Amino acid sequence: MSDPISRLDQFRADTPGAPMKSAAEVRRRGDQIRRRRRTLVAAGAVAVAAVVAGPIIFLSAGFGERAIEPQPAPAPSQTPSTVAPSPSGSAPASDLTRANLPTEDDLVAEDPYPQWVLEQTYDGEGRGDHNECLPALADAGALATFRRDFIAEAGQEYADSAGTLKAVVAEFGSADEAEKARAELSDAASSCSAVDGAEVAGSLPVEGGVVTRGDIDVVTYLPEDTDTNARREVATAVVAVEDRLVVITRRRGVQDYVSPTSLQTSAVNAAYRLVGSSPPPASTSSSASSSSSSSSSATAPAAVLSDAHLVVAGSLPGLPMEGESSAVWQQVAPQPTPTLYCQGAWLSSLKAAESVSREFRLENGGSQIGKVNVTVLEFAEQKGADAAFDTVHGWLDACPASMADAKLFTARPVEAIEIGTTPEIDRAAQTLAEYAADCGGEGCDATWYDHQTVAQLGTRLVLVTHAEAGGPCPPTRACPPEEASDYTEWDNRVDQTVEATVDRAFQDLP
């Protein structure tokens, strides 16, 4: 399930970066940089435990010395090596190599997109801009740079819409110079002043493993070719590891409501390559966990949520159609839409320990007439779930999402509801929002009638969307509806969706 596009300042997480070193420590590191005999020592055990804990990586910072033996480099290309001239005769030569670039296995291709595969590797920053928002790294003082471009695996579903991913690594004369460049590049990525009409879509920190400091900034803008009916998205991760930087850029075309790209896992993995090490495994098998139980390495806790907590299509109510018994719901691949239309931030901002999602669509005659989105969130503590419920309740009440334009209005205020499930829930709230449907650029009165629900039991939350198409009347028995009974069938369908979803999500709770 993809989170919604987020263009508000509160979407930036407040997690602090690793503390900056003292001036004496920076000078000592500078001397070590010139000697270039380093080994990577720390971060292993703690990083493995944090990496397997969830899809969003927040690891404890722990950085020792660089590895002496880097990973084997890919076969060289015909592109000549490009190393910036030393500013003085005493400046050190760089020992950055292609082995410090991320590989295909380091990069996460989120659903529903296929795996990233290597397209080209360059010595230097390559041909053409890798990121329209950023200046050249050579202009920022880099001693050496290398670049690697990736594309989605050809022939796979959604490959054409996946866009491109490009990684550039650079080395500077000192950790201070690298941090200065990182801050300048992050500022450039967040504003993207080089592109007219760029709008901020979201921002997140990058922490963990060997990372000194990093940020992910996402902007969108309208391309010159407006016939594409999509915005251009540029997601930029700029990560510093002492005197080195890695810049990862994801570019793609997105519709208005597509959730911003998250590059956190890929960025942390790339940081390990930057210092000549392999990233820790993304998961640990049960056999591996048991065999390592006697060692000092910590293992991640077992997952609480699974697909078993998600409603299935057969439990959703059919929509009666004229001349037919009903239209049938179909589970679909994750869609570029938020779980709740009125979401005001990425769901990751709620800081759940785990989440699982599923989406369904219902069509009739090639036209979409129904949408059901479901996300189940598990929190480490009750207070985290309580705070998340209050946040979502606020979203439903105010509908602050950026897609809430002049055509949207909320048909009723958010209100507490009862859901007849076992076990009995702690609390639940629901609202009905109405918004114009996409008519392919032509005027029409098609409207989505969207019930959005949040329910809580202990440390678990469930978010549910049940939307049906209508216009000019809601999906009621009569048009226009005149009696309360005209709403009965519609209300029952919404109730059935919510009850089936909540019952499934809370089935294992006492």
Contacts of 90 (CB under 8 A, 6+ apart): none
pLDDT of residue 126: 80
pLDDT of residue 92: 56
Q: Which residues make beta-bridge pairs with 470?
A: 447
pLDDT band at residue 292 using 50, 70 and 90 as cut-offs: very low
Q: What would the mean pLDDT of 287-298 be, rounded to a whole number?
A: 33
Instruction: Kindly state the percentage of the chain with pLDDT values over 90.
Output: 39
Contacts of 204 (CB under 8 A, 6+ apart): 11, 12, 13, 215, 216, 262, 264, 348
pLDDT of residue 454: 97
Q: What would the mean pLDDT of 344-362 be, rounded to a whole number?
A: 86
Q: In the predicted model, what is the mean pLDDT of the chain?
A: 76
* Residue matched to tokens 């076990």: 423
Domain boundaries, given as residue ranges, for the chain: 9-291, 307-505
pLDDT of residue 468: 93
- What string of H, E and C letters represents the secondary structure of 384-433? HHHHHHHHHHHHHHHCCCCCCCCCCEEEEEEEECCCCCCCCCCEEEEEEE
Cis peptide before 112 (omega within 30 of 0): yes
Residue 455 and residue 419 in contact, taking contact as beta carbons nearer than 8 Å? yes
pLDDT of residue 336: 63
pLDDT of residue 325: 63
Residue-wise pLDDT for 168-192, tens only, equals 999 999 999 999 999 999 999 999 9
Distance CA 304, CA 300 (A): 12
pLDDT at 481 over 50: yes
Please tell me the least confidently modeled range out of 203-217, 286-300, 470-484: 286-300
pLDDT of residue 228: 53
pLDDT at 432 over 90: yes
pLDDT at 327 over 50: yes
Contacts of 56 (CB under 8 A, 6+ apart): 262, 264, 265, 348
Q: What would the mean pLDDT of 104-127 be, rounded to a whole number?
A: 88
pLDDT of residue 334: 74
Name which residue leads in pLDDT, 437 or 117: 117
Give the pair of three-digit tokens for residue 8: 């508000």
Distance CA 485, CA 492 (A): 11
Which pairs count as long-range contacts for 153-158, CB under 8 Å and 24+ apart, including other chains?
153/114, 153/115, 153/116, 153/117, 154/117, 156/114, 156/115, 157/112, 157/114, 157/333, 158/112, 158/113, 158/114, 158/333
Q: What would the mean pLDDT of 341-351 be, rounded to a whole number?
A: 82
Residue 410 and residue 433 in contact, taking contact as beta carbons nearer than 8 Å? yes
pLDDT band at residue 249 using 50, 70 and 90 as cut-offs: very high
Residue-wise pLDDT for 19-34, tens only, equals 333 334 433 444 443 3
Q: What would the mean pLDDT of 278-299 be, rounded to a whole number?
A: 43
- What string of H, E and C letters represents the secondary structure of 84-124? CCCCCCCCCCCCCCHHHCCCHHHCCCCCCCCCEEEEEEEEC
For the chain, the farthest-separated pair of C-alpha atoms sits apart, in whole angstroms, at 88
Q: What would the mean pLDDT of 69-82 be, rounded to a whole number?
A: 39
pLDDT of residue 168: 96
CA angle 398, 402, 407 (to 5 degrees): 80
Name which residue leads in pLDDT, 327 or 36: 327
Q: What would the mean pLDDT of 75-90 be, rounded to a whole number?
A: 42
* Residue matched to tokens 């509806």: 481
pLDDT at 362 over 70: yes
Distance CA 130, CA 148 (A): 10
pLDDT at 464 over 80: yes
Does the domain made of 307-505 have the CATH classification 3.40.1000? yes
- 427-436, strands of its sheet edge to edge: 330-332, 354-364, 367-378, 460-470, 447-457, 427-436, 409-416
pLDDT band at residue 256 using 50, 70 and 90 as cut-offs: low
pLDDT band at residue 49 using 50, 70 and 90 as cut-offs: very low
Residue 360 and residue 310 in contact, taking contact as beta carbons nearer than 8 Å? no
Q: What would the mean pLDDT of 276-290 be, rounded to a whole number?
A: 54
pTM: 0.49
pLDDT at 87 over 90: no
pLDDT of residue 443: 63
Residue-wise pLDDT for 484-504, tens only, equals 898 999 999 999 999 999 999
pLDDT of residue 202: 80
Distance CA 220, CA 202 (A): 10
* Helix intervals (H) in 192-284: 264-274
Q: What would the mean pLDDT of 324-350 be, rounded to a whole number?
A: 80
pLDDT band at residue 368 using 50, 70 and 90 as cut-offs: confident
pLDDT of residue 419: 93
Q: What would the mean pLDDT of 2-25 be, rounded to a whole number?
A: 35
CA angle 173, 178, 183 (to 5 degrees): 155
Q: What would the mean pLDDT of 85-108 be, rounded to a whole number?
A: 75
pLDDT of residue 59: 25
Give the pair of three-digit tokens for residue 360: 């369904």
pLDDT of residue 156: 87
pLDDT of residue 347: 83
Count how many residues are written for the chain.
510
Neighbours of 196 (CB within 10 A): 9
